[in-house]
Chain A
Amino acid sequence: MDINSVYETIENVKSDIQSVSTKDDLEEFRLKYLVRRGIIQQMFEGIKSASPEERPQLGKALNELRQTAQTLFDEKKRELEQSRTLTADKLDLTIPGRRRPIGTKHPVTQALDDMTTIFKSMGFAVALGPEIEDDFHNFEALNFPADHPARDMQDTFFLDETALLRTHTSPVQVRIMMNQKPPIRHIMPGRVYRNEAISARSYCMFHQLEGLAVDENITFAELKGTLATFAKKFFGSGVKYVFRPSFFPFTEPSAEMDISCFLCNGKGCRVCKQTGWLEILGCGMVDPNVLKAVGYDPEKVTGYAFGMGVDRTALLLYGIDDIRMLYENDVRLLNQFS
């Protein structure tokens, strides 16, 4: 054995490791070079037959060979292990996992949930009522006299002379008050119906969230504070608001609450019709006639009520242009609200 054959073997080691691509190849390489009976060990045995002068040089070269083989082996092993975690054994970690479908609540439900959560945190309980109502609960008890123009404010779907589809959630107020004594502090979410032509801006049914508080010492100032707090929680603490006089038969005084348009920050845009304000709800102090109609004494208690359209608010919040899209229920829209 001469020193040249050692260097030749180093070259062989280098070329052999090149062709290693699997665990088995690597094992073959190890068996060839690195085990006790492998080539390198055998070459070490051969030192004995070399001349004493050659021995130191030969030993040095053999050590180089062994080190090269071991290093190349280790590197290759690491490389194979790494690639194994990516491709070997049929486990491609980049393939998508098996996902479960993600469920959604309808955008209107979500807006309603968000509103409900806020009012619950402010001490309101939830009450529900029927969608088929009668003239008494929907109008008369709410101080809409028969043959009064106030009735024109709400185009009604009638089922017969007195039965109708509720035009607002306010009849639930009447039902609660007729069923229990003050204090009352409830919100009443639900579906309502108006005989209005269907367009991008209006639909023949929508959802309302109504609120009612009746007790001693309830004031308009508290109503303002309650709704201002709601608006800040719901639309963001930077929101500005304004209350302006309005008219609803069942409240006196009545107000509309406008908030600064959150789409343009009050600068004016298409949605707020360049006014910088959005009308979001109507409210007021419960009219004494309503309190009397349900058997309460207006000299003992006062109350406030408010109501807002949920669908319109949802459209504003989510930037949907056409209210009809809410009821088409295209799952590509619904899936955006997970």
Chain B
Amino acid sequence: MNISFNWLQDYVTIHESPHEIAERLTMAGLEVEAIRSTEEIYSNFVVGKVRDVRQHPNADRLTVCDVNDGKQTHTVVCGASNVAKEQKIVFARVGSVVPVNGMHVKEVEIRGQKSAGMICSEYELELGDDHDGILVLSDDAKPGMQFSEYYWENDVVFEIGITPNRPDCLSHIGVARDIAALYKRPLRTPKIKISESNKPVKSALTIDIKDEEHCPRYVGRVIDGVEIGESPGWMQRRLRMIGLRPINAVVDVTNYVMMEYGQPLHAFDYNLIQNNKIVVRLAKDGEKFVTLDEKERTLTKRNLLICDAKQPVAVAGVMGGLNSEIHNETTSVLIESAYFAPASVRHTSKQLGLVTESSYRFERGVDPSRTAEAADRAVQLIQQLTGGTVYRGRVDAYPKKIKPLNIPFRSKQVERVLGVSIPATTIKSILKRLGVEVRDSRKKGEWRCVVPTYRPDIEREIDLVEEIVRIYGYDNVPAQETAAIRFTADDVRPEIHDQVREWFVGAGFNEIVCNSMVPGNWNMYTGRSAVTVNNPQNQDMTDLRTSLIPGMLHVVNHNINRGNHSLRLYEIGHIFSRDPFPGSKNYIQNYHEGESIAIMLTGTRNPDDWSLKDAQFDFYDLKGEVESLAAKFNLDKIEYNIYNTSSNTLIDEAVGIEFKGVSRGYFGKVSKELLKSFDIQPDIYAAEIDIELLSEFYRIEKKFEDVPKYPPVHRDLAFILDESVLYRDLDRVIREYGAPLVSGVSFFDIYRGDKIGSGKKSIAVSLEMLSKEKTLTQPEIEEILTRVVKAVEKKLGGVLRS
């Protein structure tokens, strides 16, 4: 909301500077977001007098003018045809900045002629659209006077961010009222005098409200014999100052009064209203109507219409109709001032996608007690500006009177909520200044507060507390730096996020954060039914991600394109689906949400280790990271199985991470198809794990196990096996038949080649043997080894490689 500092002073006396007022308003909840002063905008623009006009020697269309700016005479080149000797004009001195386009006025040479300054047009001064000719001022303008003073009376405009709870401040009187309350000064509202004719308005207008819920009050006044013309300079100036464009006197008056009182008004051409009748009714489903902006609107039965005897003439509170608009030949005007139900106007405005100054105010709530006064004020101004005869009185249809709220208020609630004791007299004074009438109540310690109707936000005791501290000053409430905390012994489920992140940091990964909203094709690979956004911002954000991996590939692509080829990335984030998935929760019906950890490796294993310089990440690096992470979180009971990729095509040759028979994640090499769609050349290894899995055993009870007293013995064995035999089977057989003395098996080499024949592989393992009672003897060791070798031979067809 733009508020003119000069305009405000019609209603409240101000001794303070604009900046002081802005600060005070901000500290009272009316945040002044910007201050613009005409002295700054128009600095170095002065009234000038054209002393001489000569033809430019080298250009037909240009003239050379001598302009006196009150101090000295400047020679300037001018392109306007209407420039003439003795004119008073607006002169932009060298060093000024043209408001409309930010151009700096400099001393220049135009076709061989020096020009030091500029004679301005309306357009350049942001006073209108006319930029064909220069703006010629009236003859009484004094050369040398600052244009800011001459035209704008050195005004300042505040841009105030009005919060939705303060519709009362969407007007100059509203803001003045808060200033009056803050500075304990009286508020002056306009004194309205209208010279009315003898003809009663009731003979010229009937109002029939069919729906009192949506329209509790409708006031109409009629004025005859109006001549439509421009509004006077002072009104145009005020409207322009707050960013409104003057149109004609009648429309300008309705805007002016809206900005003065906060009451939106509508002016109809009275002669276009059939049968002198206004009917306020709900539209029929599918009813069509053309609004002022020449658009045909299709309405529903939730939209309120203003109609005449025959047809709609306005969408209530939102926009008037083309069929009854004020035009240059209008001679009679019907002024509408109404109170429409906020929710109704909001609904219609949303539905039509049409937000106007009017709908903005109605949906927040205008003052139902000022409806008539605003109509009177408009009629007074129209009469004053355009002449005309005003019908006597007004038609005021007010079937459902809106009464001020009467709220019980306990002054001790102020201290209970705020933690500061404010004397009762201070509280009463603040309330009074805000227009709240404080009455005694029969109950002890309680008052009754009658709240003015322009404050629809004050409905309860707590709202009064808020108003009191707003005026009392938030600064005057101490910042209490002690607090009595009640301890609770509730079970708190540990959050493992911190631990997971610490592990990744230690393991050298970069954490990334990606958008959860992704293009639809990113979700084609998981086989999960994606959640879609009803109102996506663009086509790249239509779905919620079903996996973290595509987003991560997007990041990989971004990095590779910038020369970052070696990446270890992780992300922890939510994934979503319409169907349940392992680890998902169902907070909202039809939607399933879980949290994943994704890991990704690509490029050189460790660019900072020169001995590994060329070593590229491979599958076993990724598997190692997954296994280490699992070990950190005590997950010795998970199994790695071939992952069923028929539904999930993110990964080729994927390994599934299973726990208690349920798949909780997978890892492997990202599929070629997916890489292609992300335009990535190198191999990418990726894993995705349900974070809930890591919390399963995060807090297992740990019991100390005695450290072995005798040293272990290590022996290496290599077996030639069929390709179909998996390492996992070999490991299992060795442990099974080596028990109880074989305490560990570790893989250390795999060999394929001519020496062992095709279809075969040689796997070398190291066995750790250990007894808790004694040091193992050579014969004992030999016996174990023989047993193991025989078992591998028998169970797996493996042959010991000598």
Give the interface of A toward B (CB within 8 A).
95-96, 98-106, 108-109, 113, 122-123, 125-126, 128-134, 146-150, 152-153, 157-160, 163, 165, 180, 183, 185, 191, 193, 195, 197-198, 204-205, 215, 217, 219-222, 224-226, 228-229, 242-247, 252-256, 285, 287-288, 302, 326-332, 334-335
Distance in angstroms between the alpha carbons of A255 and B473 in the assembled complex: 11
Contact A221 B608 (CB under 8 A): no
Q: Is B191 an interface residue (CB 8 A)?
A: no
Given contacts A98-B609, A220-B417, A225-B479, contact A329 B512 (CB under 8 A): yes
- B residues in contact with A99, CB < 8 Å: 606, 608-609
Distance in angstroms between the alpha carbons of A185 and B342 in the assembled complex: 37
Contact A247 B163 (CB under 8 A): yes
Given contacts A245-B469, A246-B31, 13 further A-B contacts (CB under 8 A): A99-B609, A101-B607, A106-B512, A109-B501, A122-B483, A132-B576, A132-B588, A132-B591, A183-B486, A229-B481, A244-B474, A329-B569, A330-B562
Contact B480 A205 (CB under 8 A): no
Q: Is B470 an interface residue (CB 8 A)?
A: yes
- A residues in contact with B648, CB < 8 Å: none
Contact A288 B510 (CB under 8 A): no
**Chain A contact residues: helix, strand, loop or mixed:** mixed
Given contacts A285-B417, A329-B512, contact A131 B479 (CB under 8 A): no
Distance in angstroms between the alpha carbons of A332 and B363 in the assembled complex: 49
0/1 interface trace, chain B 502-546, chain A, CB 8 Å (1 if under): 001111111111111100000000000001111111000100100
Given contacts A222-B419, A229-B481, contact A157 B536 (CB under 8 A): yes
- A residues in contact with B490, CB < 8 Å: 180
- A residues in contact with B506, CB < 8 Å: 103
A58 to chain B, nearest CB (A): 60
Q: Which of B104-112, B204-212, B457-465, B711-719 contacts A (4 or more CB under 8 A)?
A: B457-465
Q: Is B647 an interface residue (CB 8 A)?
A: no
Q: Is B492 an interface residue (CB 8 A)?
A: yes
Per a CB cutoff under 8 Å, which of A159, A180, A205, A224 touches B477?
A: A224
- B residues in contact with A147, CB < 8 Å: 342-343, 346-347
Q: Is B704 an interface residue (CB 8 A)?
A: no
Q: Is B53 an interface residue (CB 8 A)?
A: no
A149 to chain B, nearest CB (A): 4
- A residues in contact with B564, CB < 8 Å: 330-332
Contact B567 A331 (CB under 8 A): yes
Per a CB cutoff under 8 Å, which of A106, A160, A193, A335 touches B513?
A: A106
Distance in angstroms between the alpha carbons of A233 and B538 in the assembled complex: 40
Q: Which of B21-29, B441-449, B682-690 contacts A (4 or more CB under 8 A)?
A: B21-29
Given contacts A106-B512, A183-B488, A219-B417, contact A245 B558 (CB under 8 A): no
Given contacts A133-B588, A332-B564, contact A98 B610 (CB under 8 A): yes
B634 to chain A, nearest CB (A): 21
A23 to chain B, nearest CB (A): 28
Contact B164 A152 (CB under 8 A): yes
List 9 A-B pairs, minimum CB-CB distance, nearest first: A219-B419, A221-B419, A245-B29, A101-B508, A247-B163, A103-B505, A253-B466, A329-B512, A224-B479
Distance in angstroms between the alpha carbons of A123 and B483 in the assembled complex: 10
- A residues in contact with B419, CB < 8 Å: 219-222
Contact A102 B508 (CB under 8 A): yes
Contact B477 A331 (CB under 8 A): no
- A residues in contact with B537, CB < 8 Å: 157, 195, 197-198, 204
Distance in angstroms between the alpha carbons of A265 and B253 in the assembled complex: 47
Given contacts A158-B535, A159-B533, contact A191 B574 (CB under 8 A): yes
Q: Is B294 an interface residue (CB 8 A)?
A: no
Per a CB cutoff under 8 Å, which of A96, A100, A130, A253 touches B610?
A: A96
Task: List 7 A–B pairs whose Cβ atoms lie within 8 Å, in order of A's numbering.
Answer: A102-B505, A130-B587, A130-B588, A220-B469, A220-B477, A221-B419, A252-B462
The chain B residue sitting closest to A100, CB to CB, is: B508
Distance in angstroms between the alpha carbons of A198 and B536 in the assembled complex: 13
Q: Is B418 an interface residue (CB 8 A)?
A: yes
Distance in angstroms between the alpha carbons of A276 and B567 in the assembled complex: 41
A12 to chain B, nearest CB (A): 46
- A residues in contact with B606, CB < 8 Å: 98-101
0/1 interface trace, chain B 553-594, chain A, CB 8 Å (1 if under): 001001100101001110001101000000001011111010
Distance in angstroms between the alpha carbons of A149 and B365 in the assembled complex: 10
The chain A residue sitting closest to B505, CB to CB, is: A103
Contact A253 B513 (CB under 8 A): no
Contact A195 B609 (CB under 8 A): no
0/1 interface trace, chain B 461-499, chain A, CB 8 Å (1 if under): 011011001100011011111111110101010010010
Q: Is B623 an interface residue (CB 8 A)?
A: no
- A residues in contact with B418, CB < 8 Å: 219-221, 253
Chain B residues 684 to 727 lying within 8 A of chain A, measured CB to CB, are: none
Distance in angstroms between the alpha carbons of A256 and B515 in the assembled complex: 28
- A residues in contact with B342, CB < 8 Å: 147, 149
Distance in angstroms between the alpha carbons of A245 and B490 in the assembled complex: 35
The chain B residue sitting closest to A129, CB to CB, is: B587
Contact A108 B513 (CB under 8 A): yes
Chain B CB within 10 A, most for which of A217, A254, A331, A334: A331
A64 to chain B, nearest CB (A): 52
Contact B163 A105 (CB under 8 A): no
0/1 interface trace, chain B 326-365, chain A, CB 8 Å (1 if under): 0000000000000000110011000000000000000110
B179 to chain A, nearest CB (A): 15
Distance in angstroms between the alpha carbons of A183 and B210 in the assembled complex: 52
Per a CB cutoff under 8 Å, which of A98, A149, A328, A330 touches B364?
A: A149
Contact A132 B346 (CB under 8 A): no
Given contacts A159-B591, A185-B485, A245-B29, contact A334 B164 (CB under 8 A): no
A299 to chain B, nearest CB (A): 10
- B residues in contact with A197, CB < 8 Å: 537
Distance in angstroms between the alpha carbons of A274 and B764 in the assembled complex: 71
Contact B480 A219 (CB under 8 A): yes
- A residues in contact with B460, CB < 8 Å: 288
Contact A228 B512 (CB under 8 A): no
Distance in angstroms between the alpha carbons of A153 and B163 in the assembled complex: 9
Q: Is B778 an interface residue (CB 8 A)?
A: no
A14 to chain B, nearest CB (A): 43
A238 to chain B, nearest CB (A): 16
Contact A244 B27 (CB under 8 A): yes
Given contacts A149-B364, A244-B474, contact A221 B534 (CB under 8 A): no
A170 to chain B, nearest CB (A): 15
Distance in angstroms between the alpha carbons of A110 and B672 in the assembled complex: 35
Q: Is B611 an interface residue (CB 8 A)?
A: yes
Per a CB cutoff under 8 Å, which of A150, A221, A331 touches B479?
A: A221
- B residues in contact with A100, CB < 8 Å: 508, 606, 608-609
- B residues in contact with A103, CB < 8 Å: 504-511, 568
Contact A225 B475 (CB under 8 A): no
Q: Is B165 an interface residue (CB 8 A)?
A: yes
B732 to chain A, nearest CB (A): 33
Contact B486 A104 (CB under 8 A): no
- B residues in contact with A246, CB < 8 Å: 29, 31, 163
Distance in angstroms between the alpha carbons of A298 and B591 in the assembled complex: 33
Q: Is B100 an interface residue (CB 8 A)?
A: no
- B residues in contact with A95, CB < 8 Å: 610
Per a CB cutoff under 8 Å, which of B463, B505, B585, B607 touches A105?
A: B505
Q: Is B795 an interface residue (CB 8 A)?
A: no
Distance in angstroms between the alpha carbons of A42 and B163 in the assembled complex: 109
- A residues in contact with B364, CB < 8 Å: 149
Per a CB cutoff under 8 Å, which of A132, A148, A185, A204 touches B541?
A: A204
Contact A255 B481 (CB under 8 A): no
Distance in angstroms between the alpha carbons of A147 and B498 in the assembled complex: 41
Q: Is B166 an interface residue (CB 8 A)?
A: yes
- A residues in contact with B555, CB < 8 Å: 328-329
Chain B CB within 10 A, most for which of A126, A149, A328: A149
B589 to chain A, nearest CB (A): 8
B761 to chain A, nearest CB (A): 31
- B residues in contact with A165, CB < 8 Å: 516, 533, 544
- A residues in contact with B495, CB < 8 Å: 126, 128
